[in-house]
């Protein structure tokens, strides 16, 4: 097993019900993800969000990582709950055919190419969600990891 860098780019913010989800897109090369894959992932996001009861007072913000890897298309959704806790659910779809996502039953949180987004988002949430007197939600949603190589050691 060897390591080679992959490419990550911000995918903007999408509304999902009353949530706002920051998106990251990861590919093996600099190729842009197919629109049908992105749309299928966005359609699956509501199935990965936590229940309303789990979020209590926390602003309804989350981030996702959509990764077209070598073996599958992976979709990870991370939602902030209880102020400072990260809720994670994931799904995957086959590489070929229609991009139909299936929730994962294993407690996976992400691979080496997806985790840079998690590290950045943790710091962004501290800066904009926890340090101010009240959460600066718009500032958090605008704070993306810049486009570039992902997973460099």
The whole-chain average pLDDT of the chain stands at: 93
Contact 87, 50 (CB under 8 A): yes
Q: Where in the sequence is the domain holding 34, given as residue range(s)?
A: 6-150
**How remote is the C-alpha of 20 from its chain's centroid?**
11
Answer yes or no: are the C-beta atoms of 81 and 50 closer than 8 Å: yes
User: Into how many domains does the chain fold?
Assistant: 1
Alpha-helix residue ranges (DSSP H) falling in 65-136? 115-125
What value does the mean pLDDT take over residues 55-61? 84
CA neighbor of 75 nearest in space, from 125, 34, 38, 107:
38
Burial class (CB in 10 A: 0-12, 13-18, 19+), 72: middle
Predicted local distance difference test score (pLDDT) of residue 24 = 98
Which pLDDT score, from 0 to 100, does residue 151 have? 76
Q: 104 in a domain, yes or no? A: yes
pLDDT at 52 over 80: no
The pLDDT of residue 107: 92
Is residue 17 a part of any domain in this protein? yes
Q: Please report whether residue 16 resides in a domain.
A: yes
Q: Is residue 105 part of a domain?
A: yes
List, for residues 112-149, the tens digit of each pLDDT value: 999 999 999 999 999 999 999 999 999 999 999 999 99
Is the residue at 1 inside a domain?
Answer: no
């Amino acid at each position: 097993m060897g390591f080679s860098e992959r490419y990550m780019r911000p995918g903007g913010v999408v509304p999902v019900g009353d949530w706002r989800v920051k998106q990251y897109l990861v590919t093996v090369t600099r190729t842009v993800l197919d629109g049908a894959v992105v749309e299928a992932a966005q359609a699956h996001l509501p199935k990965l969000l936590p229940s309303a009861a789990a979020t209590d007072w926390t602003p309804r913000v989350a981030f996702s990582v959509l990764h077209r890897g070598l073996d599958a298309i992976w979709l990870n959704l991370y939602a902030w709950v209880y102020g400072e806790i990260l809720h994670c659910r994931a799904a995957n779809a086959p590489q070929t055919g229609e991009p139909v996502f299936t929730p994962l039953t294993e407690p996976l949180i992400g691979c080496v190419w997806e985790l840079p987004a998690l590290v950045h988002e943790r710091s962004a949430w501290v800066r904009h969600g926890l340090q101010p007197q009240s959460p600066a939600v718009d500032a958090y949603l605008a704070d993306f990891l810049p486009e570039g190589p992902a997973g460099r050691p």
